[in-house]
Structure 1
Amino acid sequence: MRNTIGETPDYCAIETAMEVLGGRWKLAILKQLLGGTQRFSELKRGLPRITQRMLTRQLRELEADGLVERTVYREVPPRVEYALTETGRSLDAIAGLLDAWGHWYLDTHGRPTSAAPAHAPAPAGVPAPAHAAVTAAE
């Protein structure tokens, strides 16, 4: 865990969450590991756009923050597996909501096809953005 986490004021716990989970790849790695224990090469295959160096760095940070545990098996060649800790597994529902929101966002804002609906309803469990209520009232 980084030193700045302990310095976060009580009134802004979202800063703590962003410090631990922030970055482009951490939540994607956690989502991969929600499916179960994986070796480095399996994680890399599941996230083809991440570089080996970045995957290593993000796994180390997740391990330092207590979300991922790394198990090294003393065999030849050595085998290393990564799994979520209980703290990491506690993010299951949050990761699911963010995944659903990401799909919704791509479908309504990010896909370059004209077939995407302009204002599709937000997925179940994800509150609709504030602009959706304004658009519906127009």
Structure 2
Amino acid sequence: MPNFISDHHVFHNPVEFAMSKIGGTYKMPILWRIKDRAWRYSELAASIPHISHRMLSKCLKELTEDGFITKEIFPEVPPRTEYSITERGKKASEIVGILRDYGTELMKDYGIQSH
């Protein structure tokens, strides 16, 4: 497959492109959590170990901009914000599930116990 450019970045294959959208330390855990129900920002922050508010905000913004999740702000006092999965996000969460299962198998193969 020939190289292609997206957002001023050269990609060498579709896997690299997909991982740029859902890869990294936190995007997959966010998608995995949101796949079944809407989550509030504070719930996500409390459920993902070691994530900073800056990083959570950045990941949520990128996932929203890329169409994997939606952000809904409810006009209440104080305002309530919820993040939900989109159809694109549901497809990605299926892949995340497959990677999660494969990672669990690899950990067993290497004698690593999950927490």
**SS of match in other structure, 2:76:** coil
Q: CA RMSD in A?
A: 1.9
Total equivalences in the alignment:
108
Alignment match, 1:66 = 67
Q: What is the one-letter code of the residue matched to 2:83?
A: Y
CA distance in 1, matches of 2:45, 2:105: 26
Alignment match, 1:131 = none
Query: In 1, are the aligned partners of 2:70 and 2:86 still within 8 Å (CA)?
Result: yes
Alignment match, 1:126 = none
Q: What is the one-letter code of the residue matched to 1:93?
A: E
Question: What pairs up with 1:44-123 in 2 under 5 angstroms?
Answer: 44-109=45-110, 111=112
TM-score norm. by structure 2 comes to 0.82
Q: What is the one-letter code of the residue matched to 1:38?
A: W
Query: In 1, are the aligned partners of 2:28 and 2:93 still within 8 Å (CA)?
Result: no
Of stretches 101-110 and 89-98 in structure 1, the one that deviates more from structure 2 is: 101-110
Alignment match, 1:20 = 21
Alignment match, 2:3 = none
Shift of 1:4: 3.7
Structure showing greater Rg: 1
Structure 2: unaligned runs, 5 residues or longer: 1-5
Stretches of 4+ aligned residues off by more than 4 angstroms: none
Shift of 1:110: 5.7
Shift of 1:36: 1.0
Structure 1: unaligned runs, 5 residues or longer: 113-138
CA distance in 1, matches of 2:83, 2:91: 16
